[in-house]
Amino acid sequence: MNPRIFWCAALLAAAMSPASQAQILIGQTAGFTGPVGAGVTETTAGARLYIDSINAKGGVGGQKIELISIDDKFEPKLAAENARKLIEEKNVVALFLTRGTPHTEAVIPWLDKYGVPLVGPSSGAMVLHKPVQKHIFNVRATYQREAEKAVTHLNSMGITKIAMVYADDSFGSDGLAGAQKGMAAAKLTPVAVEKFNRSKPDFSTIAPLIYKANARAVIMIASGQAVVDGVKALRAAGSAAQIVTLSNNASSGFAKSLGDNGRGMIVTQVFPAERSIAYPLVKEALELAKAQPQSELSPAMLEGFAAAKVLVEGLRRASPKPTREKIQAALEGLRKLDIGGLEVGYSPDDHTGLDFADLSIIGTDGKFRR
């Protein structure tokens, strides 16, 4: 064969191969296994619902979005190492949907070193909002907003004997601050405030103390399995207190893991009810979910879906050929973006996102009700 013809044929074959098609690489490190695995899986599934729908229409500027997800087992050190790999080795243009407060804090040095934006961390910690973290663009509301609303609700029901149980990390401290703010506003004093080891949760001594304090409600600022174990210990100790936990546990998997202990539990929420079709965001997510084998939409899925909408809008505004710098500038230029009945906006001095907070209760069927 003529060498020139062979070279042209090789170039054509390379151009037609899937590997050669330009893609927008987005990285994610989150605890797909470990104590928050169920929630992470659902949140990511919600994000992929929207990303897949965009890719089905040709992507952004003719480029498909590829989400590279790596399991960090809900360990901050591994989250940091995963972020390094995604940024240095995979050359992602943005990070997306991290899970956990200390875990997200652990990736910040890599964001700052390479100027990589992080969109929609699945954490409502105030430390990610104030002072402004240059490369973090929050979508969901803060834990403090949720915890304060929970206390206000309990007080309105006449429940004033409230105990607080929290993890000994930045997430726990942050949620506790919000609950204490709500208590102060209601002129209440908690009957007990107990801290536990996040790495090795043990409620054998805490549960009896809560029972002896005669708490009528317990706000549990913890993640996944720790809440499940804590509630079991409380019930075993004889406590019939109303249990309240935050939206980091708003997944169907979490509700199922509680079994009968889940009935009546209050879970704060940072997005509208997953059946509130008056919100275009919810209606769109429901329609896309119906086409999937897993047709039910959970609060956790809706969080991922909303975060993906913000990410995609940032990519669109940074097109053609989005880079880290262009995405950063595009996101900081976002003003009053309607993602479907909820408005997100940023500026160089404000990366806060939404302020929506609501309450739900786990019904006898294990589903969230409002």
pTM, two decimals, is: 0.88
Residue 368 placed within a domain: no
Q: Indicate whether 2 pLDDT > 60.
A: no
Residues 22 and 133 occupy one common structural domain: yes
- Structure tokens given for 114: 């390479």
Least confidently predicted of 10-19, 51-60, 160-169, 296-305: 10-19
Predicted confidence (pLDDT) per residue in 78-114, tens digit: 999 999 999 999 999 999 999 999 999 999 999 999 9
State the DSSP string of 298-367. Answer: -HHHHHHHHHHHHHHHHHHHT-SS--HHHHHHHHHT--SEESSS-EE--BTTB-------EEEEE-TTS-
Strands (DSSP E) contained in the chain are: 23-30, 64-71, 94-96, 118-119, 136-137, 162-167, 192-196, 217-221, 242-245, 266-269, 337-338, 343-344, 358-362, 368-369
Domain with 284, as residue range(s), is 11-140+278-356
Residues 300 and 349 occupy one common structural domain: yes
If one counts every other C-beta atom within 10 angstroms of the C-beta of residue 312, the result is 22
* pLDDT in the model for residue 293: 76
* pLDDT in the model for residue 212: 97
Give the number of domains in the chain: 2
* pLDDT in the model for residue 199: 85
* pLDDT in the model for residue 270: 95
Domain C-terminal end among 236, 269, 302: 269
Residues 344 and 294 occupy one common structural domain: yes
* pLDDT in the model for residue 294: 65
* pLDDT in the model for residue 22: 63
Residues 82 and 156 occupy one common structural domain: no
Predicted confidence (pLDDT) per residue in 178-203, tens digit: 999 999 999 999 999 999 998 899 99
Residue 364 placed within a domain: no
Residue 369 placed within a domain: no
Residue 2 placed within a domain: no
Residue 328 placed within a domain: yes
Residues 83 and 129 occupy one common structural domain: yes
* pLDDT in the model for residue 292: 82
How far apart are alpha carbons 222 and 266 in whole angstroms?
14
Predicted confidence (pLDDT) per residue in 158-180, tens digit: 999 999 999 998 899 999 999 99
- Structure tokens given for 360: 């739900």
Average pLDDT in the chain: 92
How far apart are alpha carbons 78 and 307 in whole angstroms?
23
> Of 138, 126, 111, 141, which is closest to residue 27 (Cα–Cα)?
111
User: How far, rounded to the nearest angstrom, does the alpha carbon of residue 145 sit from its chain's CA centroid?
Assistant: 15
Q: Tell me, what amino acid is at 229?
A: D
CATH number at residue 347: 3.40.50.2300
* pLDDT in the model for residue 216: 98
The share of the chain scoring above pLDDT 90, in percent, equals 88
Residues 32 and 106 occupy one common structural domain: yes
